[in-house]
Amino acid sequence: MPSTDSSARATRPVLLLGAGSRPYREHLLQRISAVHPVVLADSEPSSWATPYLCREVAVDLADSEALAVAVKQLNEETALAGISTYMEHHVEAAAHLAERFGLPGTSPASAAACRDKARTRQLFAERGVASARSHLVADEDAAVEAARSLGYPVVVKPRAMGGSAGVVRADSDAEVREAFQRASWETVLGLDTFAVRGVLVEEYLNGTEISAETVVLGPADVRIAAITRKRLGAEPRFQEVGHLVDAADPLLGDTTVTRTVVHAVQALGIERGVLHVELRLTAHGPVLIEVNARPGGDLIPHLVRLASGIDLAQAAVSLATGAVPDLTPSHRRAAAVQFLYPPGTGVVTHLSTPAALRFERWLDRMIWTRHPGDQVTAPPHASIDDRLAHWVVTGTDQAECDQRIAQVFAQVNARVDDAAHTTACTR
């Protein structure tokens, strides 16, 4: 039987910072609202989110003082149970507010270290965590000097962006100069408003990319709830074209991966929260790319729940309210998401799939995120905003998911026109 304290806590609202876009975030808000009343604080109203909320507060989330005043008033009126966010933009704000109002959460210093990739690398180097060698550079000449010292190829990236925006492999001095300029200005989803500026030149890591969906219950209790196999587009960009989660992934039992993740969490001083930890499996072992102090994006928590039953959205809000989440798997399956990028740059003129496809029981969702008339950019210059669609499939294992992903892809019809020619993705 739950304690009186835990029952009372469950009836108090959780403050959520930012709703995000419906195609990628609704699954999280739906799961959170199933266990807690939710008050949403956001700069602009999100009509899609309203059915999941008990209250909305309009406030500029980039204005820390205005946000603090609004939360103070809200807390006095409703006695908040916790403060949470699944948006990269707001992890620092959530940490500062939780500390200010005496609520559980990631420390502001740890949240800031996760947002600032230069600080992340510094802490990893100081504590001996396996991580890419990295230099923070101020201009093109410094970038070239750093690249030469590391040895080509290198990766050039923004200091505090996300969604692979501005991240480029460079194989020469000329490419480094071009990549520096791109990393200096490229942004996605308005993250530049909340980001510390700067450019990093880093060692290129050759190997398979994964993420460890990690739950930190306490300083000495770090659990990997799932391993995500990340599918990347062609280099020199590192666009994520899909993800797969298998509840029976052998890396869940790999002590080297676990040890590397634990060391990274401890180096950043994180004592509570759900994290998205990115690594590459190199010939020398797992190496850290970055740690995000929030659940993974791109529907990864949804894949985890489909594959194992573990609910990372609810785990995050449990930790934000001082409760202990249930991380017990209820089943062992696999789930995958695939993102459709434009076949060419221009105007979308046609998007379709056969009507019968929606009746496949293994197709969890098929969502168009662009529409006819939209202007889009094709890889390698595309961003996640240019994705035309995504679909989620389930299966008994990775092989079955891969087969079903391909089965959907073969039935997609997407046409993009420009003034000179037409490009299409028709299977």
Distance CA 63, CA 87 (A): 16
Q: Please give the pLDDT value at position 425.
A: 47
pTM: 0.93
CATH 1.20.810.10 given to domain 334-427: no
Distance CA 318, CA 88 (A): 19
Domain with CATH 3.30.1490.20 in the chain: 133-203
Domain with CATH 3.40.50.20 in the chain: 4-107
Domain with CATH 3.30.470.20 in the chain: 334-427
Nearest to 132 by CA among 99, 98, 165, 167: 167
Nearest to 101 by CA among 15, 21, 163: 15
Q: Please give the pLDDT value at position 393.
A: 99
- pLDDT string in tens for the chain (427-residue length): 444 455 566 789 999 999 999 999 999 999 999 999 999 999 988 899 999 999 999 999 999 999 999 999 999 999 999 999 999 999 999 999 999 999 999 999 999 999 999 999 999 999 999 999 999 999 999 999 999 999 999 999 998 777 777 899 999 999 999 999 988 887 766 766 666 789 999 999 999 999 999 999 998 999 999 999 999 998 898 999 999 999 999 999 999 999 999 999 999 999 999 999 999 999 999 999 999 999 999 999 999 999 999 999 999 999 999 999 999 999 999 999 999 999 999 999 999 999 999 999 999 999 999 999 999 999 988 989 999 999 999 999 999 999 999 999 999 999 999 844 444 443 3
CATH 2.40.50.140 given to domain 133-203: no
Give the CATH architecture of domain 4-107: 3-Layer(aba) Sandwich (3.40)
242, 248 Cβ separation under 8 angstroms: no
Question: Which CA distances in Å does 265 have to 118, 213, 278, 308?
Answer: 16, 12, 12, 23
- Provide the terminal-to-terminal Cα distance of the chain, rounded to the nearest Å: 55
